[in-house]
């Protein structure tokens, strides 16, 4: 695991400069903030910066991942529980909201909350009171700043009935959008330098620099996994590149090949094969086996197309291949066959970058 967390928001692109100003402005108030943007763009680090630059900085910043836990555990994580309230509750435990009293709670992936949890959260936001799991008495009144984040389109979810509109308006007092890395490529060299320094500090490595050509290729890559993907790439390079300089040939073929696609004019890229296939599966509910699979087997589409489709699925499914299989309208018994297919044709993408 990484020991250093960047509380320093790196970036000087116009988009990041505007974001820095917004963070400063927002930090002074107590207003709720909703941060949106693709996975890995830096939503959490923006939330941390808002906390760190405001009057609550000396108190706790308590992040809660609303996607990672089953509902009952999430409820206890947020609100706490009393001893004996469920098997394994050996003692009273404060929730993250209570721990963040006078500080900030960060509700990550808030779009993944069940409707029941959304109701409990809304009640807390309206009253400021928490009700611990298993407790009968009146809840404790708290002073917590709430910052939430999601990579989902909550307005779409409201239309679908999977996100409560009243909760949305509670959370969305201030809306901050963190743009994807490919829309602020000027920041890439700065981030490369920052991550190089971080990982050199953590590893024995003979690397001392990155060649200008390699930086150029890194800058032109599309970074579907955004800053998190770049961070992971730099960590790998520090460990694996022979040194002293990271050169273009040390970069993975994906990064080197993708950049040619990225260099094509925007208009030409607007609709790609992967776009169409992905849309057919998601919108038309066609199966992977009747769309991507036959086209690939007949060599109508390339491995890169398949990988792009899978990458999108992983992004949507936050790195969970089982969910990707469901998104692609496969039967659950086809899961193994799906993984075997990907492995056999070298289309399996590391899921960790999307977690």
Ligand X SMILES: Nc1ncnc2c1ncn2[C@@H]1O[C@H](COP(=O)(O)OP(=O)(O)O)[C@@H](O)[C@H]1O
Which of the listed partners (Mg ion, ligand X, none) does 11 bind, with a CB threshold of 5 to 8 Å by partner kind? ligand X
Give the binding site for ligand X (CB under 6 A): 5-6, 9-11, 37, 39-45, 194, 227-228, 231
Report the nearest approach of Mg ion to the CB of residue 37 (Å).
9
**Phi, then psi, of 98 in degrees rounded to 5:** -70, -40
Q: Which is nearer to ligand X, 40 or 224 (CB)?
A: 40
Which of the listed partners (Mg ion, ligand X, none) does 282 bind, with a CB threshold of 5 to 8 Å by partner kind? none
221 token code pair: 């890559």
C-beta nearest to Mg ion: residue: 44
Q: Which is nearer to ligand X, 82 or 193 (CB)?
A: 193
Q: Which is nearer to ligand X, 67 or 82 (CB)?
A: 67
C-beta nearest to ligand X: residue: 42
Which of the listed partners (ligand X, Mg ion, none) does 10 bind, with a CB threshold of 5 to 8 Å by partner kind? ligand X
In angstroms, the Cα distances linking 184 to 36, 157, 224 are: 16, 28, 13
258 token code pair: 């993708």
**Strand residue runs (E) in the chain:** 33-36, 61-65, 80-81, 93-94, 104-108, 129-130, 140-141, 145-150, 174-177, 209-210, 245-246
Report the nearest approach of ligand X to the CB of residue 190 (Å).
8
User: Within the chain, what is the greatest distance between any pair of CA atoms?
Assistant: 66
Report the nearest approach of ligand X to the CB of residue 206 (Å).
24
Task: Please say whether the dihedral angle defined by the alpha carbons of residues 141, 149, 155 and 355, taken in this order, is positive or negative.
Answer: negative
Which of the listed partners (Mg ion, ligand X, none) does 252 bind, with a CB threshold of 5 to 8 Å by partner kind? none
Footprint (CB under 5 A) of Mg ion, residues 1-40: none
Q: Which is nearer to ligand X, 10 or 125 (CB)?
A: 10
Report the nearest approach of Mg ion to the CB of residue 109 (Å).
7
Distance CA 242, CA 186 (A): 27
Cβ neighbours of 61 (radius 10 Å): 20
Q: Which is nearer to Mg ion, 34 or 210 (CB)?
A: 34
Distance CA 68, CA 319 (A): 12
Report the nearest approach of ligand X to the CB of residue 45 (Å).
4
353 binds Mg ion (CB under 5 A): no
Could you tell me if 9 and 123 are in contact, meaning their C-beta atoms sit under 8 angstroms apart? no
Q: Which is nearer to Mg ion, 146 or 309 (CB)?
A: 146
Footprint (CB under 5 A) of Mg ion, residues 35-64: 44
Sequence length of the chain is: 355
| Coil, strand or helix at 149 | strand
| Coil, strand or helix at 208 | coil
Q: Which is nearer to ligand X, 11 or 313 (CB)?
A: 11
Q: Which residues bind Mg ion (CB under 5 A)?
A: 44
């Amino acid at each position: 695991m990484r020991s250093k967390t960047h509380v320093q928001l790196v970036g000087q692109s116009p988009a990041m400069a505007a974001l820095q100003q917004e963070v400063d402005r927002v930090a002074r108030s107590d207003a709720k903030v909703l941060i949106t943007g693709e996975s890995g763009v830096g939503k959490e680090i923006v939330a941390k910066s808002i906390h760190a630059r405001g009057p609550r900085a000396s108190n706790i910043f308590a992040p809660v991942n609303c996607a990672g836990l089953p509902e009952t555990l999430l409820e206890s994580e947020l609100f706490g529980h009393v001893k004996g309230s469920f098997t394994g509750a050996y003692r009273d435990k404060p929730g993250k909201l209570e721990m963040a009293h006078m500080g900030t709670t960060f509700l990550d992936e808030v779009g993944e909350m069940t409707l029941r949890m959304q109701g409990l959260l809304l009640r807390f936001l309206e009253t400021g009171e928490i009700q611990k799991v298993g407790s009968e008495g009146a809840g404790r009144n708290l002073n917590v700043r709430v910052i939430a984040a999601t990579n989902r389109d909550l307005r779409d979810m409201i239309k679908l009935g999977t996100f409560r509109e009243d909760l949305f308006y509670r959370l969305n007092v201030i809306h901050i959008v963190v743009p994807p890395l490919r829309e602020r490529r000027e920041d890439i060299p700065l981030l490369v330098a920052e991550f190089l320094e971080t990982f050199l500090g953590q590893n024995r490595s003979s690397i001392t620099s990155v060649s200008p050509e390699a930086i150029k290729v890194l800058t032109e890559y599309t970074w579907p996994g955004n800053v998190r993907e770049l961070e992971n790439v730099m960590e790998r390079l520090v460990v694996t590149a022979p040194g002293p300089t990271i050169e273009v040939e040390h970069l993975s073929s994906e990064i080197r090949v993708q950049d040619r696609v990225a260099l094509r004019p925007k208009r030409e890229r607007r609709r790609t094969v992967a776009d169409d296939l992905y849309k057919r599966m998601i919108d038309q509910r066609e199966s992977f086996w009747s769309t991507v699979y036959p086209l690939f087997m007949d060599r109508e589409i390339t491995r890169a197309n398949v990988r792009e489709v899978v990458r999108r699925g992983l992004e949507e499914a936050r790195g969970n291949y089982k969910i990707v299989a469901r998104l692609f309208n496969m039967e659950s018994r086809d899961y193994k066959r799906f993984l075997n297919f990907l492995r056999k044709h070298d289309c399996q993408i590391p899921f960790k970058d999307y977690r």
